[in-house]
């Protein structure tokens, strides 16, 4: 009888443990709110308002690490995501269960973004197993697919935390690996960029994450650059080479503006006058610069097309195509110009710094393709010096670009990149930049 009683007690205790474990595991997959935190409730309401105002093409979803795009990562966000109709749905302190609640309570209702980038789970590490965390991430992905059937989901492996490798990192890596099993390479993708933050010996340095958890501005730059090709792919944009970001999304002219005068003339304008002139220039831009089948097309009328942002040192890539007798170019920091023209008519070819007077103005060789075919510039600008590859041929090697507008001054330290025209029909595509 004692043996039977002993067996009963053993199985009773085992049942309780199993039941408790099932409840414990369920915490990562059962929606839970944090409305008792006033800031959390306000942020949730702010997200609801933002999606109602729309449009929404990209969502960054997760915890404080995504929340930080509003803080330490703000300038990086402006560069990479501002022109992508992006909503930051990162909430500090959130666990998988909190994201599930937010999804159930309106944060993706009535929208159909192109992509969601999800990075969640680090706050579950102290109270949940790797299996439970992985299950929570999978539950979020399934919820996203249910509510946003046309949206592609990118699962980012949970970022490394703590200065040195150890049990915490191992647990989070295991959770990420479990979550990765739901990726199908079609609507659900998985990407591990953790190594981008680490030194060769696996150390997570203060230069990247000062508290060994949250990225600083440099850390956010590493993050954005590492995921850029995948984000571009999921959003249906041209895919940039490693380290570059998209400057033309292939569908519209977000991130570009019409030309207003030249740099010294603009500098003399009042803010009100410049805004008025810019509005008129943008109206002209939209009339003459259009997008057709992923290509920027200029109809031969109007002014140059300019980047909204200014650039200092950078690498720039662009594909271009012209017709017979056409004349165009690329302005660097708002100044003329890397030459584009008909190589039949001008046998020295394209790529030279045509407006130079005291430094070489012609390319070292003609590397143009036949008229009507696509050419590619790879332009590198550091300080006053410019290096240019045309169709993978070095045509300008570390030559000073002179200031066309103010000949007695060196080239401006920053300025826009412009697609220039001389009244000919032009085509541009695959436009990427990397700031140095």
For position 334, which CATH number holds? 2.60.120.560
Does residue 2 lie in a domain region?
no
Domain end (from 236, 270, 287) = 236
Q: Are residues 24 and 73 in the same domain?
A: yes
Domain co-membership, 323 together with 231: no
- Domain annotation covers residue 11: no
Domain shared by 228 and 263, yes or no: no
Tell me 378's DSSP state: E
pLDDT in tens, the chain (436 residues): 333 344 433 333 333 333 334 434 459 999 999 999 999 999 999 999 999 999 999 999 999 999 999 999 999 999 999 999 999 999 999 999 999 999 999 999 999 999 999 999 999 999 999 999 999 999 999 999 999 999 999 999 999 999 999 999 999 999 999 999 999 999 999 999 999 999 999 999 999 999 999 999 999 999 999 999 999 999 999 999 999 999 999 999 999 999 999 999 999 999 999 999 999 999 999 999 999 999 999 999 999 999 999 999 999 999 999 999 999 999 999 999 999 999 999 999 999 999 999 999 999 999 999 999 999 999 999 999 999 999 999 999 999 999 999 999 999 999 999 999 999 999 999 999 999 9
Question: Are 38 and 167 within one domain?
Answer: yes
Question: Do residue 201 and residue 321 come from a single domain?
Answer: no
Q: Is 219 in the same domain as 289?
A: no
Q: Structural domain tally of the chain?
A: 2
Residue 361 domain-assigned (yes or no): yes
Q: Are residues 40 and 179 in the same domain?
A: yes
DSSP 243-259: T-EES--SSS-TTEEE-
**Pure H helices in 2-158:** 2-26, 38-53, 64-67, 74-80, 96-104, 130-147
Say yes or no: 154 and 279 in one domain: no
Any idea which residue has 């696996």 for tokens?
202
Residue-range definition of the domain harbouring residue 387: 256-435
Is 347 a domain residue? yes
Can you tell me which residue has the tokens 């295991």? Answer: 174
Question: In 311-345, which positions are buried (b, 16+ CB within 10 angstroms) versus exposed (e)?
Answer: beebbbbbbbbbeeebbbbbbbbbbbbbbbbbbee
Same domain for 130 and 180, yes or no, is yes
Q: Domain for residue 202, yes or no?
A: yes
Residue 246 lies in a domain: no
Same domain, 338 and 418: yes
Residue after which a domain boundary falls, among 236, 266, 285: 236
Whether residues 279 and 229 fall in one domain: no
Q: Is residue 31 part of a domain?
A: yes
Residue 357 in domain: yes
Please tell me whether residues 191 and 314 are part of one structural domain.
no
Which of the listed residues 236, 267, 283 is the one where a domain comes to its end? 236
CATH code for the domain of 110? 3.40.50.1110
């Amino acid at each position: 009888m004692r043996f039977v009683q002993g067996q009963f007690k053993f199985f009773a205790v085992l049942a309780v443990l199993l039941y408790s474990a099932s409840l414990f595991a369920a915490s990562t997959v059962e929606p839970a709110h944090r409305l008792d935190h006033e800031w959390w409730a306000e942020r949730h309401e702010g997200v609801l308002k933002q999606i109602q105002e729309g449009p929404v093409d990209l969502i960054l979803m997760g915890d404080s690490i995504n929340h930080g795009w509003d803080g330490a990562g703000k300038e990086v966000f402006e560069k990479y995501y501002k022109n992508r109709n992006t909503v930051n749905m990162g909430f500090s302190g959130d666990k998988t269960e909190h994201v599930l609640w937010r999804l159930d309570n309106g944060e993706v209702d009535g929208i159909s973004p192109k992509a969601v980038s999800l990075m969640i789970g680090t706050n579950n590490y102290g109270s949940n197993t790797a299996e439970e965390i992985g299950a929570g991430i999978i539950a979020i992905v399934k919820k996203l697919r249910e509510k946003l059937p046309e949206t592609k989901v990118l699962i980012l492996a949970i970022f490394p935390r703590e200065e040195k490798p150890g049990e915490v990192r191992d647990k989070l890596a295991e959770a990420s690996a479990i979550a990765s099993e739901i990726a199908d390479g079609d609507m659900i993708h998985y990407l591990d960029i953790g190594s981008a933050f680490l030194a060769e010996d696996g150390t997570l340095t203060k230069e990247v994450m000062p508290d060994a958890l949250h990225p600083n501005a440099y850390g956010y730059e590493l993050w954005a650059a590492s995921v850029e090709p995948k984000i571009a792919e999921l959003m249906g944009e041209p895919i940039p080479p490693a380290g570059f970001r998209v400057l033309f999304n292939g569908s519209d002219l977000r991130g570009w503006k019409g030309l207003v005068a030249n740099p010294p003339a603009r500098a003399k304008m009042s803010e009100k006058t410049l805004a008025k002139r810019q509005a008129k220039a943008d109206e002209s831009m939209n009339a003459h610069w259009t997008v057709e089948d992923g290509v920027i097309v200029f109809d031969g009328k109007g002014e140059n097309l300019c980047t909204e942002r200014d650039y200092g040192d950078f690498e720039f890539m662009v594909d271009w195509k012209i017709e017979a007798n056409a004349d165009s170019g690329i302005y660097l920091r708002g100044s003329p110009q890397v030459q584009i023209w008909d190589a039949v008519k001008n046998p020295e070819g394209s790529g030279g710094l045509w407006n130079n007077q005291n430094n070489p103005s012609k390319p070292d060789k003609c590397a143009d393709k036949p008229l009507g075919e696509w050419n590619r510039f790879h332009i590198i600008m550091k300080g006053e010096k410019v290096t240019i590859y045309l169709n993978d041929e070095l045509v300008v090697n570390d030559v000073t670009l002179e200031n066309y507008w103010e000949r007695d001054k060196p080239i401006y330290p920053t300025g826009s990149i412009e697609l220039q025209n001389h009244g000919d029909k032009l085509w541009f595509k695959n436009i990427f930049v990397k700031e140095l």
